[in-house]
Amino acid sequence: MTKKVPTSTILVPVDFSSHSKEALLFAAELAARLSAPLIILHVIHDPGESPGYYSQKDPEHPHKIADVAAEMMAEFIARITKENPELNSIPQAKIKLVSGLPVTRILEMAEYYNPQMVVMGSKGRTGLAHLLLGSKAEQVVRLCPSPVTIIKMTESKG
């Protein structure tokens, strides 16, 4: 079996949280320093898993969940770009929205793009809570074909 040669791309999955913002900032700075393309990924997950996650701005006129997610992504990127104008790699990044289960789709995108690195944010839980709950980031670390860097934030920082 022939192993794929990693591309210079950096893949950063985001969920619009402060944890993923920190991961995006780290990935954007790294991409700029390495002159590497940046792919910002958001997985539109099943609303049954987290009902209300994609809040409707106008409940009187419901929108498709993908449209709401795309709008949230645009606002997330615009806010981070405005706060960090020196990071040129963010406005130049490829934006990718996919539907499905987050871990599965992140792994599929890592397999497809074969990035040199995946950068993810994490809440930084430790101890029993971490062992019992696990995390999407931990699952990606264990299963991803590419190297994964976790940007860990403690509860007090987030």
pTM for the model: 0.83
pLDDT in tens, 64-84: 888 889 999 999 999 999 999
Do the domain assignments include residue 81?
yes
What's the CATH code of the domain at 131?
3.40.50.620
Do the domain assignments include residue 14?
yes
pLDDT over 90 percentage in the chain: 65
Do the domain assignments include residue 157?
no
Domain span at residue 110 reads: 10-48+60-152
pLDDT in tens, 125-142: 555 545 444 588 889 999
Secondary structure in 3-state letters for the chain = CCCCCCCCCEEEECCCCHHHHHHHHHHHHHHHHHCCCEEEEEEECCCCCCCCCCCCCCCCCCCCHHHHHHHHHHHHHHHHHHHCCCCCCCCCCEEEEEECCHHHHHHHHHHHHCCCEEEEEECCCCHHHHHHHCCHHHHHHHHCCCCEEEEECCCCCC
- Region 14-35: mean pLDDT is 95
pLDDT in tens, 82-105: 999 999 999 999 999 999 999 999
Split into its structural domains, the chain has a count of 1
Do the domain assignments include residue 38?
yes
